[in-house]
A = this chain, B = another copy of it.
Amino acid sequence: MADRLDQERVEFLKKDFAQGFIEYCGFEAVEIEWGKVESSVQVAPHHRQQDGFVHAGVMAAMADHTAGYAGFTTVGDGRRILTVEFKINFLRPAFGEWLRCKARVIRNGSKLVVAEADVYDVREQCPVLCAKALMTQMAVVISKG
């Protein structure tokens, strides 16, 4: 079922990835292939919570968005992805310098896409799995303006 994405599409998706809230959070797409997206962010004080750890909401937003773009790679030009729901487990507190998220599609149905995402806390260049998410997305036809 795996198609290749051409370079133009990859460049479009990388740029499209970081807008609005995602740009505000500093998340960037670093690797994009069919059904898989990897993203990254350098942790700053505004990503933390009251105890100094990365806020669960940061990891949740990163997992959701990265998985959304993994889903986006599997649908045609005229369609986009909406998150239907997701669930995320926090396995360990994150306190390192970077977060990295790897998301992949595990089921690309004609209407619904199911994906999963792992969030890694990068501590002195060593990635430690700190959250895991499982999500449902819907492919919707883009309405022409």
The interface of chain A, by Cβ under 8 A from chain B, is 16, 19-25, 45-51, 55-58, 60-62, 64-65, 68, 80, 82-93, 106-107, 109, 111-112, 114, 116, 129, 132, 134, 136, 138
Contacts and interface: CB of A to CB of B under 8 A. Distances in A.
B50 A19 contact: yes
A111 B138 contact: yes
Contacts of A84: 84, 89-90, 112, 136
A107 B80 contact: no
A89 B93 CA distance: 22
28 contacts: A16-B50, A20-B48, A20-B49, A20-B55, A21-B47, A21-B49, A21-B57, A24-B47, A56-B64, A56-B68, A58-B61, A60-B86, A82-B93, A84-B90, A84-B112, A84-B136, A85-B85, A85-B87, A85-B89, A85-B114, A85-B136, A86-B87, A87-B87, A87-B88, A89-B136, A91-B109, A111-B111, A114-B132
Contact of A64 (B20, B60, B68, B138): B60
A41 to B, nearest CB: 12
Contacts of A109: 91
Given A85-B89, A107-B129, 14 more contacts: A20-B48, A20-B50, A21-B48, A21-B58, A51-B80, A56-B64, A56-B65, A57-B62, A57-B65, A85-B88, A89-B134, A89-B136, A91-B107, A91-B109
